Amino acid sequence: MKNIRLGVIFQIALFLGGSALTAQETTALKQKSNYDYHDAFAPFFYTKNGTATRSASGKPGVAYWQNRADYQLTASLNESTNEITATDIITYTNNSTDEMSFLWLNLDQNLFKEDSRGEAIVPVTGSRNGKQGQIFDGGHKIRSVKIIKIDNKKVKDLEAKYLITDTRMQIFLPETLKSKGGKVEFKIEFSYISPNEGSDRTGVLETKNGKIFTIAQWYPRMCVYDDIRGWNTNPYLGASEFYLEYGDFDISLTVPSNHIVVCSGELLNPKEVYSSEGFKRFNQAKESDQTVMIHSVEDVVAAKTPDSTTKTWHYKLNNARDVSWASSAAFILDGAKINLPSGKKALALSAYPEESAGNEAWGRSTEYVKHSIENYSKRWLEYTYPVATNVAGNEGGMEYPGIVFCGWKAKGKSLWGVTDHEFGHNWFPMVVGSNERLFAWMDEGFNSFINTLSDVDFNNGEYKGEKEDMHEHASTYTRADLETMMSSPDNMKEANIGTLCYSKPSAGLVILREQILGEDRFDRAFRTYVERWAFKHPTPDDFFRTMENVGGEDLGWFWRGWFQYNWQFDQGVNAIKYIKNDPKKGVLITIENFEKMPMPVIMDIKTKSGKTERVKLPVEVWQKNVQWTFKHPSTEEIESITLDPDHVFPDINETNNSWTADKGIIEKDIILDPYLGSYSNSRMPIKIVITEKNTLLNVEITDYPEFSLSPIGKDFFESKRAGLKFQFNEDKTGFDMIVSESRKIPFTKDK
Mean pLDDT by 10 residues, the chain (751 residues): 48 42 40 94 94 98 98 98 98 98 98 96 91 94 97 88 98 97 97 97 97 98 98 97 98 97 98 97 98 97 83 98 98 98 98 97 98 97 98 97 98 97 98 98 98 93 92 95 96 96 98 98 98 98 98 98 97 95 96 97 97 97 96 96 98 96 93 96 91 93 90 94 94 94 93 84
Query: Residue 723 gets which letter from DSSP?
Result: T
Closest listed residue to residue 386, CA positions, set 320, 475, 310: 320
Q: Are strands 403-407 and 387-393 parallel, antiparallel or unpaired?
A: parallel
Phi and psi torsions of 745, nearest 5°:
-125, 125
Contacts of 413 (CB under 8 A, 6+ apart): 463
Whether the pTM exceeds 0.85: the reply is yes
Q: Identify which of 569, 568, 571, 570 has the alpha carbon closest to the alpha carbon of residue 641.
A: 571
DSSP for residue 219:
S
Is the CB of residue 4 less than 8 Å from the CB of residue 707? yes
What pLDDT is recorded for position 9?
47
**The pLDDT of residue 306:** 67
Q: What is the pLDDT of residue 26?
A: 34
Q: Could you give the CA distance from residue 451 to residue 420 in angstroms, rounded to a whole number?
A: 7
d(CA 590, CA 572) in angstroms, rounded, equals 9
Q: Are 92 and 72 in contact (CB under 8 A)?
A: no
Kindly state the greatest CA–CA separation across the chain. 118
Of 534, 552, 543, the closest CA to residue 486 belongs to 543
**Cα Rg of the chain, angstroms:** 34
Please state whether beta strands 387-393 and 345-352 pair in parallel, antiparallel, or not at all (unpaired): parallel
Amino acid present at 217: Q
pLDDT recorded at residue 1: 53
Task: Say what the pLDDT of residue 16 is.
Answer: 36
SS3 for 652-687, per residue?
A: CCHHHCEEECCCCEECCCCCCHHHCEEEEECCEEEE
Cα–chain center distance at 603: 27
| Three-class secondary structure of residue 409 per DSSP | coil
Contacts for 3 with CB less than 8 Å, ≥ 6 apart: none
State the Cα–Cα distance between residues 26 and 628, nearest whole angstrom: 21
β 665-666/571-578 pair status: parallel
- As a whole number of angstroms, the distance between CA 393 and CA 328 comes to 10
Cα 643 to the chain's mean position, in Å?
26
Answer for the pair 364, 406: CB distance below 8 angstroms, yes or no: no
User: What sign has the CA pseudo-torsion 102, 104, 109, 112?
Assistant: positive
Q: Give, rounded to a whole angstrom, the gap between the first and last alpha carbons of the chain.
A: 34
DSSP conformational letter for 500? I
